[in-house]
Amino acid sequence: MLEAAFEGGVTWYDVAPSYGAGRAEEILAPFVAAHRDDLFVCSKAGLVPPKNNGLMRLAYDIGRPLVSVARGLSRRFRSIKATRNRRVALNGDFLEASIASSLRRLRTDHLDVFALHDPDPADLDRDDVIRALERILERGDARHISMAGSLDAVLSAAALPVFTFFQLADDPDGRQLPALNAALDRPAGRIIHSVFGVGGARDRMISRLRAHPELAAEAAAAGYGERPEEIATTLLMRRAFAVNPEGVVLSSMFSAGHLAHNLRLASEPLDPAAPQLAERILSAT
Structural domains in the chain, sorted by start: 2-49+85-193 (3.20.20.100), 200-245+255-285 (no CATH)
Q: How far apart are the first and last CA of the chain?
A: 40
3-state secondary structure string across the chain: CHHHHHHCCCCEEECCCCHHHHCHHHHHHHHHHHHHHHCEEEEEECEECCCCHHHHHHHHHHHHHHHCCCCCHHHHHHHCHHHCCEECCCCHHHHHHHHHHHHHHHCCCCECEEEEECCCHHHHHCHHHHHHHHHHHHHCCECCEEEECCHHHHHHHHCCCCEEEEEEECCCCCCHHHHHHHHCCCCCEEEEECCCCHHHHHHHHHHHHHHCHHHHHHHHHCCCCCCHHHHHHHHHHHHHHHHCCCCEECCCCCCHHHHHHHHHHHHCCCCCCHHHHHHHHHCCC
Kindly give the parts of the chain with pLDDT less than 50: 82
**How far is residue 284 from each of residues 5, 171, 216, 239, 243, measured CA to CA in Å?**
36, 17, 12, 17, 21
Q: Are 96 and 136 in contact (CB under 8 A)?
A: yes
Residue 125 has what pLDDT?
83
Q: Are 208 and 215 in contact (CB under 8 A)?
A: yes
pTM: 0.87
In angstroms, the CA 265 to CA 259 distance is 10
Q: Are 263 and 9 in contact (CB under 8 A)?
A: yes
In angstroms, the CA 209 to CA 230 distance is 11
- What are the φ and ψ backbone dihedral angles of 140, each rounded to 5 degrees? 85, 10
In angstroms, the CA 95 to CA 106 distance is 16
